[in-house]
Amino acid sequence: MRVRIGAVGYLNARPLTWALDRDPGRWAIRYDLPAVCASLLQAGTVDLGLTPSIEYLHDPDYRFVPGISIGSRGAVTSVAIFSKKPMADVKTIALDTSSRSSVAQTRVLCHDWFRIEPEFVPHGPNLAQMTATCDAALLIGDPAFEADAAALGLRKYDLGEEWLAMTGLPFVHAAWMGRQGAVTADDVQALQAARDEGLANIPAIAEEYGPDDPARAARAARYLRDNVRYGLGPEEVAGLQLFLDRAAALGLGPRRAVAFF
DSSP 97-114: TT-SHHHHHHHHHIIIII
Domain assignment of residue 255, yes or no? no
φ/ψ of 172, rounded to 5, equals -100, 110
Same domain as 175, residue 66: yes
* Residues 85, 152 within the same domain: yes
Same domain? For 243 and 189 the reply is yes
Do 62 and 121 fall into the same domain? no
Strand, helix or coil for residue 106: helix
Residue 253 has pLDDT above 90, yes or no: yes
pLDDT at 174: 95
Confidence of residue 222 (pLDDT cuts 50, 70, 90): very high
Query: Residue 118 carries which DSSP code?
Result: P
Does residue 259 lie in a domain region? no
Count the domains in the chain.
Answer: 2
CATH number, domain containing residue 48: 3.40.190.10
Q: 126 and 55, same structural domain?
A: no
Mean pLDDT of 245-257: 98
How high does pLDDT run on average in the chain? 97
Measured distance CA(82)–CA(40) in Å, rounded: 29
Residue 47, in any domain of the structure = yes
Whole-number pLDDT of residue 142: 94
pLDDT at 1 over 90: no
pLDDT at 99: 84
How confident is the model at residue 239, as a pLDDT? 98
Residue 117, Cβ density class (10 Å: 0-12 exposed, 13-18 middle, ≥19 buried): exposed
Q: How far is CA 184 from the centre of its chain?
A: 24
Looking at the chain, the whole-number percentage of residues with pLDDT higher than 90 is 98
| 91-110 pLDDT per residue, tens | 999 999 988 999 999 999 99
Domain boundary among 123, 144, 167: 167
56 lies in the same domain as 120: no
Across the range 64-83, mean pLDDT stands at 98
Please tell me the predicted confidence (pLDDT) of residue 67. 98
Quick one: pLDDT band at residue 80, thresholds 50, 70, 90? very high
Say yes or no to pLDDT of 41 above 90: yes
Tell me: do 159 and 205 sit in the same domain.
Answer: no
CA 14/CA 8 separation, integer angstroms:
8
The region that residue 243 occupies, defined by phi over 0 for left and psi between -120 and 50 for alpha, beta otherwise, is alpha
Query: Does residue 118 carry a pLDDT above 90?
Result: yes
Read off the pLDDT of each residue in 66-94 and give the average, rounded to a whole number.
98
- Residue 179 forms beta bridges with which residues? 62
Last residue of a domain, one of 147, 167, 187: 167
Each residue's pLDDT tens digit, 160-208: 999 999 999 999 999 999 999 999 999 999 999 999 999 999 999 999 9
> Between vectors from CA 255 to CA 253 and to CA 259, what angle results, nearest 5°?
110
Residues 195 and 242 in one domain: yes
Give the domain range for residue 60.
Answer: 3-70+171-249
Amino acid residing at 61: D
Is the residue at 257 inside a domain? no
84 C-beta neighbours (distance < 10 Å), count: 16
> Which of 133, 167, 201 is where one domain is finished?
167
